[in-house]
Amino acid sequence: MVLNLRRLAADHAALHSKLPPYYLVQPEDGHFAAADDLSQVNILLTGPPGTPYSEGLWRLQLKIPEDYPNSPPKATFRTRIWHPNVEEMTGAVCVDTLKRDWQSRLTLRDVLITISCLLINPNPDSALNSSAGNLLREDYDVFAHQAKLMTSIHAPIQPALHGAVQEAKHRGEDPGSVHRETDTHQRPRKQQRIQTGTTMKSNRPPSEYIPHPPRDIAIHPQPVPEDDPMQMSDDDENDDPASASKENNPSLSPTPVRLAPPSSPRKNAFGKRPLSVLSLAYPEDPDTEMMLVDSDSEPENDTDTPKQA
């Protein structure tokens, strides 16, 4: 009996020195036994983040039997909670750790951690609330909606306890907790990517990183060459008449050139016959007029020309 009391006192002292995550000590309100009563533990439990119970705060009581630690304590929710492993009317908790899996080496701290894990991972196979267990199997979204609704009705967080609740939740982010394990499981991927990029840069020899000297952007005038061979050759070709005649010579063309047929000697470009020039001797008198006659056309009566006798 004395050994049991020593063990019980040590477990209480461990709880007062450091509470498990999501737990906080309730203020004295006269509803429960005094803090020096070792036969029971009265404590507050807040819902872990990421669960349907994250916005709630419940009163939890542990009743410790006289033969503790040979027999497990009994856990009861004094605040109503809608949970598959908690009887809705009495608040009794059903968990294997407090029944067939109990071992005398387990402490009160281990019991509290086990109950908080039920809020994270409910077990519908050992349900005391059959409606909650069946809904959890069928549709988790509907179950979560119902659990949030019941939490907001029966277990809202009082404004005066918001600071203590946030501190209890931060305690759950310590290494080894469920929420912290999720974060540390994802962080090595990001760190690995950063280290890979740094390693690729450091593998290059330092000689490749020698900066180039600054470029001289000053403009220096350069002398113009007197004789440009390319320009002289072009000018010689343009000035050479033989080269010019070769370019216009159709016989040197790689493709045959078709020339237009000669026009008729009797027609000019406008389709009229050329005029024949009368072979007359030039008179000595410069005032004498000279006439051009079309040999093919009929003679016209010129009234203006005087007849010769």
Q: What is the 3-state secondary structure (H, E, C) of 49-104?
A: CCCCCCCEEEEEEEECCCCCCCCCCEEEECCCCCCCCECCCCCEECCHHHCCCCCC
Domain assignment present for 132: yes
Domain assignment present for 57: yes
Q: What is the value of pTM for the model shown?
A: 0.55
- Kindly list the distances between the CA atom of residue 225 and the CA atoms of 81, 110, 222, 228, in Å, as whole numbers in the listed order: 100, 98, 9, 7
pLDDT of residue 249: 57
94 is catalytic: yes
pLDDT of residue 254: 56
Domain assignment present for 236: no
Which phi-psi region, left, alpha or beta, contains residue 55 (left: φ > 0; alpha: ψ -120 to 50)?
A: alpha
Angle at Cα 107 formed by Cα 102 and Cα 113, nearest 5°? 85
Spatial distance between the Cα atoms of 32 and 303, rounded to a whole number of angstroms: 157
Domain assignment present for 209: no
Residue 114: Cβ within 10 Å count:
18
Domain assignment present for 18: yes
- CATH code at position 172: 3.10.110.10
pLDDT of residue 17: 87
Active-site pick, 44, 94, 111, 157 = 94
pLDDT of residue 211: 53
User: Long-range contacts: 273-279, Cβ < 8 Å, 24+?
Assistant: none
Spatial distance between the Cα atoms of 138 and 94, rounded to a whole number of angstroms: 21
Weakly modelled stretches of the chain, pLDDT under 50: 30-34, 174, 176-202, 206-207, 209, 229, 233, 244, 267, 269, 276-281, 295, 297, 299-300, 302-309
Domain assignment present for 79: yes
- Kindly list the distances between the CA atom of residue 155 and the CA atoms of 81, 172, 193, in Å, as whole numbers in the listed order: 8, 20, 44
**pLDDT per residue over 78-94, tens digit each?**
999 999 999 999 999 99
3-state secondary structure of 40: strand
Domain assignment present for 51: yes
Report the length, in residues, of the chain: 309
Domain assignment present for 195: no
3-state secondary structure of 294: coil
Question: Could you give the number of structural domains in the chain?
Answer: 1
Domain that holds residue 143: 2-183
